[in-house]
Structure 1
């Protein structure tokens, strides 16, 4: 009489008795599930479990993307804060008030004469530094640093004075009179 495939594999030494018993047990289990009609339920449960697993994996990926975005925003904010703090121009004798507009409010910053001149000519910029969410301070920085900050975050508040020297209207009655640079209002 011919031997079964399982007996032939055992005789050849390709499988051992434990693997043979495990395979036979699995076959009996599958046969039983098919006879009782529970095989379809098992397939449905597997399909549902697979769908839940895929949905969870997609949510995890979305959450990871969100966390990465938040981490990048925090890193950019830290870079901007460091750029401001290391390159801020401090005025030794801050006795002159420089006024600028922040939103709908006119703000003021006390600086010395040299900084005031460079601010009014558009050679320096003023930037808002957020100490905490409800409080911000203003710092004077060079234009190159202001451009680096703009590259990192377009929405950051930066004030650069417009240089209007030499631009006169044609029909201006006071065109012959130059406004002195040191005129204070």
Structure 2
């Protein structure tokens, strides 16, 4: 039983309308024109559009998941490798986003910061002291997480510097 027969039986289409549709279809076939089923074309276009939307959503979800994974890696690197600042009595000043900030450290930690062996990282609005190697790994993932990383290589003295004999001490308190 064809769709046309089912529609006539349900009373949705009359015999006259069915014959008219058959004649139009027959004429189109005889004249060489292809009969285009608009419903099929619309359905195919909707499937293509839906597939494109799905690809975009999947790409966005993947990017978000990658971002969360990187943040989790940074969190783990900082929390596992953080140096304890307990009993720190020396104030160490540094610049964070244009603001002078102070943390209290022990003399050994201060020397590590000055020598470039330690770096200051921020996590959850708190400052953590981590080793330089760990800080470089964190900086590869997100450079904004590292607040201070002293590099001794850039402190090399220029041969023509007239003030080479007058070095500023690194542990100068300000």
Which residue among 129, 145, 150 is the counterpart of 1:161?
A: 150
Change beyond 3 A, Cα 1:111–1:67? same
Question: What 5-or-longer segments of structure 1 have no aligned partner?
Answer: 1-24
Residue 46 of structure 1 pairs with residue 35 of structure 2: no
TM-score by length of 2: 0.73
Residue 85 of structure 1 pairs with residue 76 of structure 2: no
Q: Find the structure with the greater CA-based Rg.
A: 1
Cα root mean square deviation, aligned: 3.1
Aligned positions, number: 153
- Residue 131 of structure 2 corresponds to which residue in structure 1? 142
- Residue 35 of structure 1 corresponds to which residue in structure 2? 22
CA displacement, residues 73-124 of structure 1 (integer Å, 9 cap, x when unaligned): 1111011101111100012321111111111111111110000011011111
- Residue 90 of structure 2 corresponds to which residue in structure 1? 96
Pick which of 108-117 and 98-107 moved more: 98-107
Q: Distance in 1 between matches of 2:40 and 2:133?
A: 60
Q: Distance in 2 between matches of 1:32 and 1:50?
A: 28
Offset, 1:52: 1.0
Matched residue SS, 1:158: strand
Contact 1:146 1:158 in 2 (8 A): no
Q: Distance in 2 between matches of 1:156 and 1:95?
A: 25
